[in-house]
Amino acid sequence: MTERFIAFDVETPNSFNHRMSSIGISVIEDNEIVREFDTLINPETHFDRFNVQLTGISPYLVEDAPNFAQIWELIEPLMSSGVLLAHNAPFDLGVLAKCLRAYEIAWKPRVRYADTCRMARACYPQLMNHRLNTVSDYLGIGLDHHQASSDAHACAEIFCRCRKDGLRLSRFLRTYDLDLMRTVCVRE
């Protein structure tokens, strides 16, 4: 059976980090990116100036975009099809959990995930930090930072690179409880 991993990244409209203004997804099979998806999302809440400046996503850009519940119908099969990956995963998983709760969407109570920031820290300890842009620069991965599609793609590339460089995935698999909004198991 083919291993499948779902790298994703979200952008948020404000400092509450309880809604998404965009999501990017990169699907990995056999250590290759095989599919990508991204979309703007109408968060149905206010935008902070900081977030607009950081992401370039404004209320005007998303006024005709679907809301999270509408997008979830499209992405749930993807998100359910493999182990989730994100760079600084607890942030992205927390936003996902808050969106599911806000829209009263029942999904699975727990998800398996790996954090590519932790993986990069173990694989490339010589770097001064392990932020997405720093690791991407080091590995020569193109990045339009704080654009969900580009960030998800970079996350997927980092994951593939770490595995090619011999990192054992089992050390980094975790379980995130979507109701408690925290990691509950280090390994299963």
User: Over the stretch 147-183, which tens digit does the pLDDT of each residue have?
Assistant: 999 999 999 999 999 999 999 999 999 999 999 999 9
Return the structure tokens found at 17: 């980090």
At 17, is the secondary structure helix, strand, or coil?
A: coil
Sequence-ordered list of residues with C-beta below 8 angstroms from that of 73, at least 6 positions apart, any chain: none
First to last CA, the chain: 19
Sheet holding 32-40, edge to edge: 32-40, 22-29, 4-11, 83-86, 110-115, 174-177, 182-185
Angle subtended at Cα 104 by Cα 98 and Cα 107, rounded to the nearest 5 degrees: 80
For residue range 113-155, list pLDDT tens digits in order: 999 999 999 999 999 999 999 999 999 999 999 999 999 999 9
For residue 188, what pLDDT is reported?
A: 46
| Percentage of the chain modeled with pLDDT above 90 | 96
